[in-house]
Structure 1
Amino acid sequence: MDAKSQLLLRNPSHFAGTVLLAGLPADDLLKALPQAFGWSWQMDAYTPLTRSTDGRCHFGIEPPSTEFAAAVLFLPKSREQTDYLLTQLAARLAGRPLYLVGEKRAGIERAAKQLQAFGSPHKIDSARHCQLWRVLVEQSPPAPVLGEWTKHYRVPLADGELRVISLPGVFAHGHLDAGTALLLEQLNALPRGPILDFGCGAGVLGAALARRYPDQSVTLLDSCAFALHSAHLTLAANSVEAKVQAACGIADAKQDFAAIISNPPFHQGIATCYQTTEDLLREARSHLVRGGELRIVANRFLKYPPILSQYLGSCETMAERGGFHVLRAVNQRAK
């Protein structure tokens, strides 16, 4: 069981009632707290939780409508997302306790100061490099208006300016990252047929693809509810249409694609995690037509070309800049 979950279970008197566990890990904490229910914005955590806890978990960017006596926020990576989530919870908890739990290396002591906006926080417990904080919500804020938490920026492209809208917690919130910028320059001459933007984030690549290839279907896939909502906003801002899909990984992409485009993730929370990307590289063949292409951008220190060559049959570097390279692999093998 996750160390943060164990810290909660060390303090059972605080969590015996109808507690909302926000951003909880995919472990047995909900089973151990039968009156609690969960709120997750990560599909890869939500899916196993909802299967094992009789539907006591909600997926989305806002908390469930169910009333709760207290709430626990598992500290996310982004400070802006922490602000948004604490505000969402505190708005529903006037006169009731709000807890924050997280790892020391993730900045729990700094984040605990954000609780001061609602009352006088104090530390409940500390163990296994994690801390648990509590505040009684004495100053309950108004429920946050989602539009006030978005960031807008514009990306100049050869076929016109692209408007991007992102929410807190989405990769490269409020700006275009260098890897995506390089990949945007390498989207020409894709094979005809359906296109997948894997790990779409705020929808930069997906919106650019939908505009450049209007007669081809485009799917944007991500595991994060905040990214999916941002992608919807970005598509609408550019008056283009595409399918937006929540998924745990490439295995959830059902369609055979002519091209898969990705700036793939390699972080999970504060930890480095290559599993999602390595699954993509190994399983892309199962989701590409013969002759279909996978184009990804990655840090040059990541040794992806041998994996691509092994599973797809060829790999070339299309462009390099600033520590990134764009790789192109063509599926030369039958499924």
Structure 2
Amino acid sequence: MDPRSEVLLRQAKLFGGPVLLAGLPADGLLGELPEAQGWSWLQHEQLALEARYPGRCQFGTQVPAQAFAGAVLFLPKSRELTDYLLAALAARLPGGTLWLVGEKRAGIERAARQLEPFGRPRKLDSARHCQLWQVTVEQVPAAPDLEALARRYPVATADGELQVVSLPGVFSHGRLDVGSRLLLEHLDGLPQGEVLDFGCGAGVLGAALQRRYPASRLHLLDVDAFAVASSRLTLAANGLGGGVQAGRGIADAPHDLSAIVSNPPFHQGVHTDYQATEQLLREAARHLRPGGELRLVANSFLKYAPLIEQHLSPCRVLAERDGFRVYSARRP
């Protein structure tokens, strides 16, 4: 059981009714709270919960439509995403109760101040290196417009300027990260056909690929509903096409790809998690056609080259700068 869930269950009597659990972990909490419903914006966690508790966990960027008497937000890493989620939940809870639970290292003590616009927050519990806070929603906000909270910024590429649209919670929100910048400079010579931007984030790599290779068919895949929405906005802002989908990881990607391009994540919330990237490296060959290429950027300290060579083919370093490397390997 996740420690945040354990803290909730110490106060289980508070959550016995129709409570919405927002951003809940994929553990047994729904089994302990039979009237609760879940809402997740991470596809792998939502699918795991849906398989275990059918019909009890929804996926997306918007608060589920069904009625609830109170809501618990599991503190996300991003402050901007926390602001959006708290406002979206509070807008549905006039006079109701909103709880915030999170780990101390995730900033729960600081984040508790984000409850103050809605009422008087108070700490209910502190255990398992986590805290649980509560507020009665006395000042009810207007439901936030998610798209209005987007940050838009230009990115110069060899094929012209792109407009990137980044929603709260998306990796490198509102700015181009160093790794993606390096990879954008090394997109030449990719095989054309079906091309995947894996872990697409705000869609900057996918948009650049579609601009560079207009004859190719573009696919964008991310586990995060906010990233999927951002990528769709970025493609639309640049008049570009492409299929954007949520997925658990490379297992949900198309097959017979000519290229997989990625700046893969290695954090999930405040935790370091290499699983999705390592699975990509192990399974890329199954999704590439013969001669298809895997090209990715990663921190130099991450030992990805041996995994690529073990599961795909000899690996080349195309570039190295500012602590990042661009790797390339082709399916035989």
Any unmatched runs of 5+ in structure 2? none
Secondary structure of 1:302's counterpart equals coil
Contact 2:255 / 2:289 at 8 angstroms: preserved in 1?
no
> How far apart, in 2, do the equivalents of 1:176 and 1:238 lie?
16
Paired residue for 2:37?
37
Q: Tell me how far 1:192 sits from its aligned partner.
A: 2.2
Deviations 1:154-186 (A, max 9, x none): 001121100000101000000000100000011
Q: Tell me how far 1:66 sits from its aligned partner.
A: 0.6
Paired residue for 1:218?
218
> How far apart, in 2, do the equivalents of 1:12 and 1:294 lie?
48
> How far apart, in 2, do the equivalents of 1:194 and 1:12 lie?
50
Q: Tell me how far 1:148 sits from its aligned partner.
A: 2.0
**Residues 54-203 of structure 1: matches in 2 within 5 Å?**
54-203=54-203
Whichever residue aligns with residue 90 of structure 2, its letter is: A
Secondary structure of 2:296's counterpart equals strand
Q: Tell me how far 1:254 sits from its aligned partner.
A: 3.0
Q: Tell me how far 1:255 sits from its aligned partner.
A: 2.1
Secondary structure of 2:291's counterpart equals strand
Paired residue for 1:331?
331
Deviations 1:254-277 (A, max 9, x none): 322110000000001101111110
Contact 2:75 / 2:82 at 8 angstroms: preserved in 1?
yes
Paired residue for 1:285?
285
**Residues 290-329 of structure 1: matches in 2 within 5 Å?**
290-329=290-329
> How far apart, in 2, do the equivalents of 1:147 and 1:22 lie?
20
Deviations 1:177-201 (A, max 9, x none): 0100000011111112200000000
> How far apart, in 1, do the equivalents of 2:60 and 2:290 lie?
36
Q: Tell me how far 1:10 sits from its aligned partner.
A: 1.0
Secondary structure of 1:264's counterpart equals coil
Whichever residue aligns with residue 123 of structure 2, its letter is: K
> How far apart, in 2, do the equivalents of 1:113 and 1:166 lie?
25
> How far apart, in 1, do the equivalents of 2:157 and 2:264 lie?
21
> How far apart, in 1, do the equivalents of 2:254 and 2:32 lie?
34
Q: Tell me how far 1:21 sits from its aligned partner.
A: 0.1
Q: Tell me how far 1:55 sits from its aligned partner.
A: 1.1
**Residues 252-271 of structure 1: matches in 2 within 5 Å?**
252-271=252-271
Secondary structure of 2:209's counterpart equals helix
Whichever residue aligns with residue 240 of structure 1, its letter is: L
> How far apart, in 2, do the equivalents of 1:196 and 1:84 lie?
30
> How far apart, in 1, do the equivalents of 2:282 and 2:55 lie?
32
> How far apart, in 1, do the equivalents of 2:100 and 2:271 lie?
19
Paired residue for 1:249?
249
Q: Tell me how far 1:125 sits from its aligned partner.
A: 0.9
Contact 1:314 / 1:331 at 8 angstroms: preserved in 2?
no
Any unmatched runs of 5+ in structure 1? none
Paired residue for 2:239?
239
Secondary structure of 1:208's counterpart equals helix
Q: Tell me how far 1:216 sits from its aligned partner.
A: 1.0
Deviations 1:249-305 (A, max 9, x none): 001113221100000000011011111100001110111111110000001001111
> How far apart, in 2, do the equivalents of 1:292 and 1:206 lie?
17
Contact 1:312 / 1:331 at 8 angstroms: preserved in 2?
yes
What is the aligned-residue identity percentage? 62
Deviations 1:134-159 (A, max 9, x none): 00000010000122210000001121
> How far apart, in 2, do the equivalents of 1:310 and 1:54 lie?
38
In the comparison of the two structures, how many residue pairs are matched? 332
Q: TM-score, normalised by structure 1?
A: 0.98
Contact 2:192 / 2:215 at 8 angstroms: preserved in 1?
no
Contact 1:118 / 1:137 at 8 angstroms: preserved in 2?
yes
Q: TM-score, normalised by structure 2?
A: 0.99
Contact 2:316 / 2:327 at 8 angstroms: preserved in 1?
yes
Runs (4+) of structure 1 exceeding 3 A deviation are none
Q: Tell me how far 1:213 sits from its aligned partner.
A: 1.1
> How far apart, in 2, do the equivalents of 1:144 and 1:99 lie?
19
